[in-house]
Amino acid sequence: MTDLSRRQFLVAGSALALISSLPTLAFSQEAGTLKIAIAAETGNLDLLTNVSTLSSYTIVFDGLVHYGPNGTLEPGLAETWTVADDGLSITFNLRKGVTFSDGTPFDATAAEWNLKRWMGNADFSWIAISDAFDSTVVQDPQTLVLKLKRPVPAGLLELTIVRPVRFLSPKAVDADGKQTAAIGTGPWILESTDSSGAVLTRNDNYWGEKPKFSRIELSVVPDELARANALRSGDLDIIGGDWVAPLSPRRAKSLNGEGVTVVAEPGTATMLLGFSPKSPVMQDIAVRRAIFNAIDRQAVATVLFEGYADPIADLFPSNIPLAGKRHEVPTRDVATVKKILTDGGWSESGSWSKDGQTLELEFLVSEESLPGSRRVAEMAQGQLAECGIQARVTSVDNATMHDRRPAFEYDLTFFTTYGAPYDPHGTLGNPFVSTVDSGPDGKIYIAPALDALIKAATDASGDAREPAMQAVYDWLYDNVAICPLVVQQRLWAHGPRVENFSLPNTDYDLPYKGIGLKA
């Protein structure tokens, strides 16, 4: 089963791939069916395992709370909630009359059973509210109290992520407690799934607003050009979404004006340059500051992202909760860059040198890990060269990247933040903390002082939270620990049959809310 990689962008399909893939595609012609492309098969939607793609969970399963615009919390299966003054308990008042799609009632007992499947489990200790779990109390059929060993200020936001926090029918497991079917309380019921796609039917007993059409067909179309052509022909209604079926800026540009509507909204994930904290030359803050000022972010956004990206100088865009104050994106100026290096003790004579060391950098990229990253690296390489900074672009496969990046075997490489609904605490609490295992993704930057600041920020609550988070951002900025580049916009496209299209709150969600289909 195929898992989608993190944050895909600038993917250009080939004509050969289109020719090979088109004969296998079969599309529904039913008028009441919304046809959406997915890049990889849905899988069985097991809530406790990492074998299914993320994009279909949220229409089958509900959480207690949902992620709203700009990270606001919206009621889900819990109509209201109350956090105790000491932060050690959260009382959830559950909706009445909700049932799972198999008819099983959703109540506090079912909610408790679900939470105990993952909370306190070592496999989910990366979720702070799971790591702090103490116990649950069923006060009555509609009231559940979650007790914690310590306060988790971001706990409610963590309950909006894709899995494992959503709710499964207690009857959808075997004798060993393993999930046997995708039975949730959501607006859609998974009817069938295989390697070619999935079919979902409307849950007419859904507690919320009912969809306006009766069926969703998810078609696996791995090739982007094939997806675009199927959209043009009307065989698909919707393509796009980083975690659904990525639409590259180049492809989006080509679709405009072809009877297709391209929808672009501000993104939530930042593409940034990471500086290896173990590279001797990158230990020099003057070098890091020079690189920070040498990159023309506007050119990257305009040329490589076709205008579908926004330059940024901060770790998170402003639509992420607690993203901190904004810094002005630097205007690239070669003279300024050279002065930074000169003031830092470097001298230029054909190339930059200091204490017998030449300023030459290795720029590690992997098209498999981050499609399109070589083009961005080559533009940055040229901009650095104009400032006299030599950077060698080294392209490696995914396996090599996953070996070298965690070992800090590079000078420069690319990272992306997690985006909504996982940030800010997802990115801050993993690739910036030295004591947490980040696996093959590696660390963006680590330092003892940063560990202490992040712990203080993630532990802070109430009025202390915002300044504690700002202290982390200030440290990253003042120490030039990262080089944020751009935030790619959220890109989707739909055909003329789709009415009232609106983007879901995150790109882990499938669009359906409010959508109508023309006859």
Q: Does residue 31 contact residue 212 with C-beta atoms inside 8 Å?
A: no
Helix or strand holding residue 483 (H, E) = strand 482-488
Give one DSSP letter per residue of 395-442, joined into a string.
E--HHHHHHHTTTT--SEEEEE---TTTTTHHHHTTTT-TTS--GGG-
- pLDDT of 55 higher than 90: no
Q: 148 exposed, middle or buried (CB, 10 Å; 0-12, 13-18, 19+)? A: buried
Distances (CA, A) of 103 to 169, 193, 264: 9, 21, 39
**Sequence letter at residue 489:** Q
pLDDT in tens, 464-489: 999 999 999 999 999 999 999 999 99
Give which of 475, 459, 488 is closest to 132, Cα–Cα.
459
Nearest CA to 488 out of 272, 229, 239 is that of: 272
What pLDDT is stored for residue 30 in this prediction? 55
Least confident of 6-20, 58-72, 288-302, 401-415: 6-20
The neighbour count for residue 18, using CB atoms within 10 Å, is 18
The residue-averaged pLDDT of 68-89 equals 96
What are the residue ranges spanned by the domains of the chain? 62-159, 188-266+490-517, 270-488
Mean per-residue pLDDT, 228-234? 96
Q: What token pair was written down for 256?
A: 């405009």
Cβ atoms of 117 and 163 closer than 8 Å:
no
Burial class of residue 194 (count of CB atoms within 10 Å of its CB; 0-12, 13-18, 19+): exposed
Per the CB < 8 A criterion, the answer to whether 386 and 356 are in contact is no
Burial of 122 (0-12, 13-18, 19+ CB in 10 A): exposed
Second CATH level (architecture) for the domain 270-488: Roll (3.10)
Q: Report in angstroms the alpha-carbon separations of 289 from 249, 382, 402.
A: 29, 17, 27
Residue 31 confidence class, pLDDT cut points 50, 70, 90: low
Model pLDDT, residue 27: 53
Mean pLDDT score of the chain, rounded to an integer? 92
Average pLDDT score over residue span 422-428? 95
Q: Work out the number of other CB atoms within 10 angstroms of the CB of residue 302.
A: 15
CB 159 within 8 A of CB 165: yes
Domain 188-266+490-517 CATH class label: alpha beta
* 259 vs 63: which has the higher pLDDT: 63
Q: Please report, rounded to a whole number, the percentage of residues in the chain having pLDDT higher than 70.
A: 94
Q: Collapse the DSSP code of 114 into the 3-class scheme (helix H, G, I; strand E, B; otherwise coil) and give the result.
A: helix
Largest CA distance in the chain: 77
Residue 258: pLDDT above 90?
no
Checking if the pLDDT of 184 tops 70, the result is yes
In this predicted structure, what is the pLDDT of residue 18? 33
29 pLDDT higher than 80: no
Model pLDDT, residue 387: 97
Per-residue pLDDT reduced to its tens digit, 305-328: 999 999 999 999 999 999 999 999
**Amino acid letter, 190:** L
Confidence check: pLDDT of 23 > 50? no
pLDDT of residue 22: 39
Asked if domains 188-266+490-517 and 270-488 share a fold, the reply is no
By residue count, the chain amounts to: 519
- Are the C-beta atoms of residues 508 and 162 closer than 8 Å to each other? yes
- 330: CB partners within 8 A, 6+ apart: 292, 293, 297, 313
Q: Helices (H), strands (E): how many in the chain?
A: 15, 24
Instruction: Evaluate if residue 26 carries a pLDDT over 80.
Output: no
Q: How far apart are CA 315 and CA 454, in angstroms?
A: 14
Contacts of 362 (CB under 8 A, 6+ apart): 391, 392, 394, 410, 411, 412
Task: Tell whether the model's pLDDT for residue 291 goes beyond 60.
Answer: yes
Mean pLDDT of 343-370: 95
Give the other-Cβ count within 10 Å of 24's Cβ: 11
CATH match for 62-159 among 1.20.58.100, 1.20.140.10, 3.40.190.10, 3.40.50.300: 3.40.190.10
pLDDT at 257: 77
234: left (phi over 0), alpha (psi -120 to 50) or beta: left
Phi–psi pair at 176, nearest 5 degrees: -90, 5
With a threshold of 0.85, does the pTM exceed it?
A: yes
- Mean pLDDT value of segment 109-136: 96
Of 463, 458, 468, 466, residue with least CA distance to 428: 458
Per-residue confidence at 50, pLDDT binned at 50, 70, 90?
confident
